[in-house]
Amino acid sequence: MKKIFITLTLISIITACSTPTKKELIEVQKTDKNVLFIIIDDLKPTLGTYGHPMVKSPNIDKLAAMGVQFNNAHCNFAVCGPSRGSFLTGIRPESLGILNNTTPLQSVLGDKITLPNLFKKNGYETIGLGKTFHDKTEEHEDMKAWDAYYKFETTELGWTGEKRNVTDGVLPWCFWQATEGTDDDQEDGQIAKKAVEIIKTERDKPFFLAVGFKN
């Protein structure tokens, strides 16, 4: 992550201070980095890297150790749709016009530029996996921002297993489950597998890969 930030800063300085020659432009273009953007639905800082005494998260902890960890970061809205719409456009939820999970992004987006669309306009191949925006329907997505977009479904076996509702029935869809099957039976397992496949594939230009885990 540090390498990405340093590269972007240097490009900004070069652009501001001089008019680059063709050779300089080519050299700058060679520094373009692939961007892996991971979004995890409803994840709090209950992670090893934040000192949680029970949670074991070695891979995320390694990622945090390699980059920059924010210890005073706050959600911009306590509901999924408004929060995602906000940080993927850079616009406050009140200004964007999404304050619930039912307002479609497309009804308020207009000519506003989303994060993946910004990368696409700057020569990146943009790929979305799973839940990036609030993915009920395409109306909740910015489909034009993606060169490729993949959704996955948990298998019938993946939905079986012991379930316990954690809200005393207030939210019937909110439950803890000890599922049957393997990672491949889970939506998130399929998303992770596809992400690894994409990362390992040789490409002619840098990519922006958004990986949205949700279960």
Point out the residues that are catalytic. 80, 134
| Residue 198 to residue 213: CA distance in whole angstroms | 16
